[in-house]
Every structure is written in structure tokens, then in C-alpha cells.
Amino acid sequence: MTTTATTLTTYRRTYFGLWMGSSLLFAALVAAGYPLVGVAAFAFGALSATALQHRSPTVLFDERDTTIFHEAGANTIAVVGMASAAFFPTMTALWALDVVAWPAWLAHLAYFVTGLFAIWGLALVVARQRR
């Protein structure tokens, strides 16, 4: 491996680690009852990752990464969509038949999925307008 490739790998791992670490720390601190400390930890990690990306002596993401990100995003939307199409109607039917109770967290998840697809739909409209 060349020095450039090693440097790129190191920067990418650090970038990913900062985002992942700050996200996990955020969730852990919120769960532990320290939401503001969690927000501060996340903000520090996010700002550090962003600074690393912009100050890196090498290009962290190029057109090959863009293609991979697009494919990963499309697959994510497909999986969430198919799972939601099966799960939420099933849960609603079971709830209507008094087989299960509809827990509050599930309502929040349903709102999140609805919001996710609303944003995706708007992104599709914008992408089509740009072509």
C-alpha cells in the first residue's frame, strides 16, 4: 500500500470513527440522563469530522464514493420501505383485533418513517427538476 493510500485509509477511518463515536456517545449520554452533555459530545465529534474532511491533505470522497453512496442510499430506502409496508399494516391489523397493544415508541417510529419518506419524496422532486 502506498503512503497516499495509507493516509487516505487513516483519514477515512478517523472520519468514520468520529461520526460513529459521537453518535454512540450521544445516545449513551442521553440514555444515562445527560442530554446536554450528549449534544455537546455529538457536536464536538461532528465538527471534528467536518474539519477533518475539509482540512485533509487528500480528497476523502470522490465520484466513486458518490456512486457507492447513491447505491447504499437506494438500498436503504428499499429495505425500509419494504419492511414498513409489511410491518406497519400488520401491526395495525393486530392492534385493531386487540391482539397486541400499540406501544408509544412504535408511533414515534411510524412518524419517523413517514418523515423519512416525505424527505425522500421531496428529494426526488428536486432531483427531477434539476434534470
3-state helix, strand, coil in the chain (%, to 5): 85, 0, 15
Give the per-residue pLDDT at 69.
Answer: 87
Of 131, 96, 89, the C-alpha closest to 113 is 89
Give the per-residue pLDDT at 84.
Answer: 95
- Asked if the model's pLDDT at residue 31 lies above 80, the reply is yes
Each residue of 81-104: pLDDT tens digit?
Answer: 999 999 999 999 999 999 999 888
Each residue of 51-91: pLDDT tens digit?
Answer: 998 887 777 777 888 889 899 999 999 999 999 999 999 99
Give the per-residue pLDDT at 23.
Answer: 96
Give the per-residue pLDDT at 131.
Answer: 81
Orientation angle between helical segments 63-96 and 104-129, nearest 10 degrees:
140
| Mean pLDDT over each residue of the chain, to the nearest integer | 90
Between CA 22 and CA 26 the distance in angstroms is 6
Rg (the chain; Cα; Å)? 20
Q: Which helix (H) or strand (E) holds 102?
A: none
Q: What is the mean pLDDT of residues 28-37?
A: 97
Q: Report the percentage of the chain scoring pLDDT > 70.
A: 95
